[in-house]
Each structure stands twice: as C-alpha cells, then as structure tokens.
Amino acid sequence: MRRRETDVADWRSGVVRQCADLCDTCIYRPGNLAHLKPGRVQELTQAAITAEGHVVCHATIDTPAPAICAGFARHPVGAVRSLALRLVRAGVATIQFVIPPTKDGP
C-alpha cells in the first residue's frame, strides 16, 4: 500500500504549510459537504489535539504542498495544541499559507 503524502512541513527550510482559507468541501464548513458520518469531524479533531498534531486539508493530500486545514487552525484548542503551529508561534518555524485546490482545479 502506498503511503499518502501528508507532511505539512519542510523542516530543512523551517516552513510549515497551512491553508490560507477553507477548501470548497472543508469538513469544518457547515452542512457536512464532505459527507462524513456523524461525529467524524469531532473524532478527527480530538485525535489531532490528543496527538498534538493537526488535520491535513484533504484537498492538499498527495499534492506537492500538503497543508494544515484552515478550519483546524482556527479551532480554539487545536491551534494551541498543534506542535507544528506552536513551533511557528515560537519562531522556530515560519508559516507558508497555501491556496487549497478547488473542485475546478488548482
């Protein structure tokens, strides 16, 4: 099975990528546009918080620039607990905002 590309950081250059805005079908948009089972967003969010990680924007997975989901980055606890975002706030890394691909293309 092929490993999916989800690394949001380039630690050689000290850059962490984050989506500049919500993608078209962001799981954090109202209305369950991604058609997830009830409670799945909360499960993903809690798992990321517990692991001091983040949620990767699904529209950026397997692209040359996977990025932290803008919705997760706006989460009041998620943004504080994410190690990658804490390193940015501490000045150890810099943030690079990326525009997520749209359903009409990049």
Q: What is the pLDDT of residues 53-83, one digit of tens each?
A: 999 999 999 888 999 999 999 999 988 999 9
Percent above pLDDT 90 for the chain: 66
Q: What mean pLDDT, rounded, does the chain reach?
A: 89
Q: Is the pLDDT of residue 11 over 90?
A: no
Residue 37 C-alpha from the chain's centroid: 19
Cβ atoms of residues 26 and 69 within 8 Å = yes
The residue-averaged pLDDT of 28-34 equals 83
Q: Is the pLDDT of residue 84 over 80?
A: yes
Which is more confident, 34 or 30?
A: 30
Which is more confident, 12 or 5?
A: 12
Cα 40 to Cα 70: distance, rounded to the nearest angstrom = 17
Residues in contact with 76: Cβ distance below 8 Å, sequence separation at least 6, in sequence order: none
Report pLDDT for 103.
66
pLDDT tens column, 87-105? 999 999 999 999 988 765 5
